[in-house]
Amino acid sequence: MPIRELADMTWEEVRDLDRARTVALLPVGATEAHGPHLPLATDVVIARAMARAGAEVLAGRGLASVVLPPLVYTAAPFAAAFPGTLSVAPETLVALVLDLARELTRQGFAALGIANAHLDPAHLGALRTASARAAEAGLLPLACPDPTRRALAERLTEEFRSGACHAGRYEGSIVMAERPELVREAIRAALPANPASLSVAIREGRATFAEAGGPRAYFGWPADASADEGRASIAVLGELLAESVAAVLAQGGAA
């Protein structure tokens, strides 16, 4: 079954969907600094890849889906000091996700799966709040896998698990697999490693990339990135999303 993009469909094609058996997949990412070698849209590239991979996995399980237009603005205070980063209030994200959930509920979709590629604590907190409020309001089930949870992180790469994974090997590999023309290859290949862990910095109370040890807005090993690793990571992200969707459909709640 080909992947269906909602924005490419006509209203009559959407009308004719069996929406009660169709999951809406929302790619979510920030427009923010990702080093001197990756585009501001890196998170969005990853989120779209995750949503499309999730749609393929769901189709293999007999579940239909549509991929929604991506959400490209969210809370990104860690990167706010860098030109081009467009950070909005967490409450804005909460309100938008809830409004989308209400619309999808009104139109009779089975669930909303959020393919999230942005890990700023303020953003993750907003997604958790939106999921809880959607459940309280009796809206359609929301599925939003959190790869910062240990059980999910263990299925991703070693660099991801280290926490030194912003615009490094993990993210760089995915962009190389999906949109290689957006990678500033000469810069990427020459960048030294930055093993400073964002997860450790967050636990220590740091609030910006600079405070966390990333003055150029990257962490990890960007020079080691490869398209092959990126394709493998995309496959895992798709599985995580599909599993989360299947879980909420089975439970009738949020996960």
DSSP 127-144: HHHHHHHHHHTT-S-EE-
Q: Could you tell me the CA-to-CA distances from 160 to 44, 46, 95, 201, 254 in Å, in that order?
A: 17, 14, 30, 15, 25
The C-alpha atoms of residue 77 and residue 208 are separated, in whole angstroms, by 7
* Over residues 6-33, mean pLDDT: 98
Our count of domains for the chain comes to 1
Burial of 228 (0-12, 13-18, 19+ CB in 10 A): exposed
Q: For residue 26, how far is the Cα from the chain centroid?
A: 9
Q: How many CB atoms lie within 10 A of CB 135?
A: 17
pLDDT at 231 over 70: yes
CB contact at 8 A, 15 and 62: no
Confidence of residue 251 (pLDDT cuts 50, 70, 90): confident
Q: DSSP letters along 200-250, please?
A: HHHHTT--SHHHHT-TTS--B-GGG--HHHHHHHHHHHHHHHHHHHHHHHH
Token reading at 244: 């989360």
Give 162's pLDDT tier (boundaries 50, 70, 90): very high
C-alpha to C-alpha distance for 201 and 218, rounded to whole angstroms = 14
Whether residue 1 is predicted with pLDDT greater than 90 in this model: the reply is: no
Backbone phi, then psi, for 22, in 5-degree steps?
Answer: -120, 130
Per-residue model confidence (pLDDT) at position 2: 81
Residue pair 91/75 in contact (Cβ under 8 Å)? The answer is no
Query: Which residue range is the domain that position 90 belongs to?
Result: 4-251
User: What pLDDT is stored for residue 116 in this prediction?
Assistant: 98
CATH number of the domain to which 243 belongs = 3.40.50.10310
Please say if the pLDDT value at position 50 is more than 90. Answer: yes
pLDDT in tens, 67-124: 999 999 999 999 999 999 999 999 999 999 999 999 999 999 999 999 999 999 999 9
The tokens describing 81, both together, are 């000091």
